[in-house]
Amino acid sequence: MEYNDIVMKNSADQSRQPSPEHFFNTVTAYHQTAVIKGAIELDLFTAIAEGNTTVEALAAKCKASERGMRIICDFLTIMGFLTKTNEIYNLTEDSALFLNRLSPAYAGGTIEFLLSPLIVDSFKDIAAAVRKGGTVVSQEGTISHENPVWSHFARAMSPIQIMPAQLMANLVQVESGRPVKLLDLAAGHGIFGISFAQRYPNLEIVALDWAPVLEVAKENAQKFGVSDRFTTMPGSAFEVDFGSGYDIILLTNFLHHFDQGTNIKLLTRIHAALNTQGRAATLDFIPNEDRVTPPFAAAFSMTMLASTPAGDAYTFAEYEKMFSQAGFSRSEIHSLTPSPQRLVISYY
């Protein structure tokens, strides 16, 4: 169909004429990545939070040219990270919470993981990944043995996981009056298990992950005052003997890395490690059955295609099936608003 034919075909709909703008915005989206990275490196958001709201003040504070500062601030305003009124720049609510280095929820450190060569390189040839059905960066991608990227991940992600961890601890009620044993599988920064321990003084944590990653978790346990109830179990979740008698086993942002068959084998071992009243709590990006909504969770499947051999963003129906085949009696799903993730609680 010729371009003129397309225009005529859509002429009845005056509210939406064909435009290449969306295509060009998408193709040049790397500009936005580069700009937000540059703003974080300049510590621009913190500078504004401290009261430097003009181009001149920001240029002086960030040791940058006034021309460069004007252009980056205008671009960040276009992107929705800043507001601009009469040449005065201010932070949006999101920027104030997540991009001000002085905020407890500061997320700027995540670029060390999200823009690391391993992650960025995995997206350089998506056509090849689609043909193969998995990552083409290396044989195992991000799930390779003791991959150092997870130590970077643990340090970078700790601040922004506090909120969903607390919401999760609120939903998964813990019985009082007796000792409760929790296994935090692939614990990473340890924030999820730590949040349970902070809420429930009768709860003890066993954190399992690669030894270098567990150093970050131990630091956080000390920082949040639960180190006396925090022990570690170094190694692979697929190889280490978990032991038994757990009341709760946490699976946070983990199962999406693997195919369903691999997950079922792991979940069968997890089921055996629980007591008869035990529960598994799975936090993940879980799309609706249509696999395109909600957008953030649904799009996560592309991250798994690019960076793992067989991972995926699984629907709740798929989680239900995996847990059922592993021996669990039932599963239920919960929203963790405002987090884009959802929680699946599966019962022994």
**Domain of 23: which CATH number?**
1.10.10.10
Q: Is 125 found in the same domain as 85?
A: no
Confirm whether 2 is domain-assigned: no
Query: What angle (nearest 5°) sits at the alpha carbon of residue 105, between those of residues 146 and 156?
Result: 20
Q: Is 328 found in the same domain as 306?
A: yes
* Stretch 76-80: mean pLDDT: 98
End of a domain among 106, 126, 143? Answer: 106
Q: Is 193 found in the same domain as 310?
A: yes
pLDDT in tens, 191-228: 999 999 999 999 999 999 999 899 999 999 999 999 99
- pLDDT reported for residue 8: 45
Q: Is 266 found in the same domain as 172?
A: yes
Residue closest to 318 by CA, chosen among 339, 296, 288, 342 = 288
Q: Is 301 found in the same domain as 177?
A: yes
Round to whole Å and give the CA distance between 122 and 306: 5
- pLDDT reported for residue 112: 86
End of a domain among 106, 126, 150? Answer: 106
* pTM of the entire predicted model: 0.87
Confirm whether 132 is domain-assigned: yes
Q: Is 181 found in the same domain as 294?
A: yes
- The answer to whether the CB of 331 falls within 8 A of the CB of 344 is yes
Confirm whether 3 is domain-assigned: no
- pLDDT reported for residue 13: 52
End of a domain among 106, 137, 168? Answer: 106
Q: SS3 for 214?
A: helix
Q: Is 147 found in the same domain as 288?
A: yes
Spatial neighbors of 163 by CB under 8 A, at least 6 apart, are 105, 338, 339
Confirm whether 1 is domain-assigned: no
**Domain of 258: which CATH number?**
3.40.50.150
Q: Is 86 found in the same domain as 149?
A: no
Confirm whether 5 is domain-assigned: no
Q: Is 341 found in the same domain as 286?
A: yes
- The answer to whether the CB of 164 falls within 8 A of the CB of 332 is no
Confirm whether 68 is domain-assigned: yes
Q: Is 198 found in the same domain as 97?
A: no
Q: Is 81 found in the same domain as 230?
A: no
Beta bridge partners of 282: 251, 344
What's the domain range around 332?
Answer: 117-347
Confirm whether 333 is domain-assigned: yes
Tally the domains of the chain: 2
pLDDT level of residue 2 (50, 70, 90 thresholds)? low
pLDDT in tens, 105-120: 899 988 988 998 888 9
Name the residue with higher pLDDT: 177 or 131.
Answer: 131
Confirm whether 57 is domain-assigned: yes
Q: Is 133 found in the same domain as 69?
A: no
- The answer to whether the CB of 316 falls within 8 A of the CB of 291 is no
